[in-house]
């Protein structure tokens, strides 16, 4: 940005990947002379399950905002290819929240957790084990039947929606019938994250001719982040993720049993995990509850 006639840097990404490819070193030197605060974003790489069904894992870069820094000094050195590289020392401004990136890097999915009472509540039904952890007391986790797909009663026989005729990954949103339902665009980016908030998202499904690698098939590929069930101090049991979740990413499907209102009311004394579904959209033919 322009600061009293000088072009200064206001933000940098520190991912550890820079060698001798840094240009415009004078911009940060201007930030040094003006003492302009610089926003620092830190990044690192980790192994994560791939969005592609053809691959089980991929290297993913994670970035998180780390706060305001001030450039203290700079110097130069010769890079790997003989080019001049500008080196900068930045000091974090006081009075800011603690370094969030340190906590995120501590909670990677390969750590050994203390207080584990169940190693995998999914019993192998998910790509990753989902452990239950209790560091509060001796209570075991609630007993339940873990399922990965919705359970429908005999009376529920919906008409399958018409699918698209795309032969590729539905890259042409003007011709894809599912993209048309989403306002004329694929709602996900190539990393499987929602790019715009929508009240309802239409994915390609069983009636579509596009391949499993289609960009509009995200939730049906299952979880991609390491989850953990844990006992809280005052609010019962909860779910948390052991890795950073990029904004807009799919986490997991809340799968359960579809019930009519009458049967749901009969069970309400034994199970509080009930909520109404399908009342706000024209696609639903009746008022139902999911358990």
pLDDT in tens, 59-103: 667 777 888 888 888 888 887 778 888 888 888 898 887 665 565
CA–CA dist 11, 69 (Å, integer)? 9
* 212 pLDDT more than 70: yes
CA–CA dist 197, 183 (Å, integer)? 12
Percent residues over pLDDT 70 in the chain = 78
Residue 26 pLDDT: 66
pLDDT class of 112 with cuts at 50, 70, 90: very low
Q: In whole numbers, what is the pLDDT of the chain averaged over residues? A: 78
pLDDT class of 10 with cuts at 50, 70, 90: confident
In angstroms, what CA-CA distances link 116 with 18, 132, 134, 191, 228? 40, 6, 6, 32, 10
For the chain, percent helix, then strand, then coil, each to nearest 5?
Answer: 10, 25, 60
Residue 58 pLDDT: 62
pLDDT class of 288 with cuts at 50, 70, 90: very low
For the question of whether the overall pTM of this predicted structure is more than 0.85, the answer is no
Residue 48 pLDDT: 58
Judge whether 214 and 203 are in contact, CB under 8 Å: no
Judge whether 221 and 191 are in contact, CB under 8 Å: no
* 21 pLDDT more than 80: no
CA–CA dist 102, 66 (Å, integer)? 10
């Amino acid at each position: 940005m322009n600061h009293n006639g000088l072009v200064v840097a206001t933000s940098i990404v520190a991912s550890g990947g820079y060698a001798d490819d840094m240009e415009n070193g004078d911009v940060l030197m201007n930030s040094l002379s003006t003492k302009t605060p610089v926003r620092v974003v830190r990044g690192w790489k980790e192994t994560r399950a791939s969005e592609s069904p053809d691959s089980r894992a991929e290297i993913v870069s994670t970035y998180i905002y780390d706060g305001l820094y001030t450039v203290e000094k700079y110097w130069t050195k010769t890079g790997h290819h003989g080019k001049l590289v500008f080196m900068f020392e930045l000091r974090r401004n006081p009075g800011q929240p603690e370094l969030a990136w340190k906590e995120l890097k501590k909670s990677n999915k390969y750590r050994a957790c203390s207080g584990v009472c169940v190693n995998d509540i999914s019993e192998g039904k998910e790509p990753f084990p989902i452990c239950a952890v209790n560091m509060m007391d001796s209570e075991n986790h609630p007993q339940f039947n873990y399922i990965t797909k919705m359970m429908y009663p005999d009376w529920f026989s919906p008409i399958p929606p018409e699918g698209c005729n795309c032969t590729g990954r539905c890259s042409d949103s003007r011709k894809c019938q599912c993209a048309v339902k989403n306002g004329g665009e694929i709602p996900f980016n190539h990393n499987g994250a929602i790019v715009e908030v929508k009240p309802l998202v239409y994915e390609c499904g069983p009636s579509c001719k596009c391949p499993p690698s289609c960009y509009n098939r995200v939730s049906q590929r299952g979880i991609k982040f390491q989850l953990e069930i844990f006992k809280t101090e005052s609010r019962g049991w909860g779910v948390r993720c052991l890795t950073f979740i990029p904004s807009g990413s799919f986490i997991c499907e809340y799968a359960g049993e579809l019930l009519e209102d009458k049967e749901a009311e009969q069970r309400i004394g034994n199970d509080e995990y009930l909520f109404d579904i399908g009342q706000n959209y024209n696609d639903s033919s009746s008022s139902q509850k999911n358990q």
